[in-house]
Amino acid sequence: MKVAVHLNVNRQEHDIEIDSRETLLEVLRERLGLTSVHRSCEEGECGACTVLVDGDPVSSCLVLAASVEGAAVLTTEGLKKGDQLHPLMEAFLAHHGLQCGYCTPGLLMTAYALIEKTDGQELDDARIRRGIEGNLCRCTGYMDIVKSIQAAARERQLGNWW
């Protein structure tokens, strides 16, 4: 069934017509061209499709797009300032937090929410691993991901953040 929805994505308002069976993943990728949101297991078991809805990480493959009317959605395209990478992304580059990059956008959104939510608290290894337990990575073995997130949290404390 066709429905008109009003979505707020990356701080932009969109009025679009979708099919009510479309997931948020499909709408973001295919209707809005936000291809950083990756299609992977499509059953909520890997986290590659993670985006933020009202600041909370969710698996976009498990969300019916029609249900996020009125909520604010954020993807990695929304973290960048034009072409400028977000300090979180710079931290991942500096500390080798990615290899193939497939899990990376989902991980970045989870990490962003984690750092925002823990607002200045020390993020030790255990706390970070608990926070990212919903994002699987087959390449890195997670150590450098943890280091990248710790470095990013330090950048936020130094005021290099948005």
Partner 1 sequence: MKNFIGSRALPEIQYHRPADMASLLALTGSLGGELKMVAGCTDFIPAIRSGKWVFENGLNVVDLKNVSELVGIREEGDRLIIGAATRLTDIAESESVQRSAPVLAEAVRQMASPQVRNIATIGGNLCTASPAADTAPPLLVLDAEVTIQGGDSRETVPLTKFFLGPGTTRMKPRDVLTEIRVPVMRENEAARRTRMGLRTAFVCSIISLAAWIRWDGAAIAAARIAMGAVAPTPIRLPDAENALIGTDGGPQALAETAERAAAGIAPISDLRASAAYRRSLAGTLTRRILDQCIADLRG
- Does position 45 interact with partner 1 (CB under 8 A)? The reply is yes
- Does position 57 interact with partner 1 (CB under 8 A)? The reply is yes
Spatial separation of the C-alpha atoms in residues 123 and 129, rounded to whole Å: 10
Q: Which stretch binds partner 1 (CB under 8 A): 51-59, 79-87, 90-98, 139-147?
A: 51-59
- Does position 105 interact with partner 1 (CB under 8 A)? The reply is no
Q: Which of 6, 21, 96, 138 binds partner 1 (CB under 8 A)?
A: 21
- What strands lie across the sheet with 2-9, from one edge to the other? 12-19, 2-9, 72-74, 50-53, 56-59
Residues 6+ apart with CB under 8 A from 109: 50, 51, 52, 57, 74, 75, 76
Using DSSP's 3-state secondary structure scheme, residue 4 falls into: strand
- Does position 44 interact with partner 1 (CB under 8 A)? The reply is yes
Nearer to partner 1, 135 or 150 (CB): 135
Q: Which stretch binds partner 1 (CB under 8 A): 7-15, 17-25, 76-84, 90-98?
A: 17-25
CA-based max dimension of the chain: 49
Spatial separation of the C-alpha atoms in residues 137 and 109, rounded to whole Å: 14
DSSP 79: H
Q: How far is the CB of 81 from partner 1 (least distance, A)?
A: 26
The residues binding partner 1 (CB under 8 A) are 1, 3, 19-23, 26, 30, 39, 42-45, 47, 50, 53, 56-59, 61-64, 66-67, 69, 110, 131, 133-134, 136
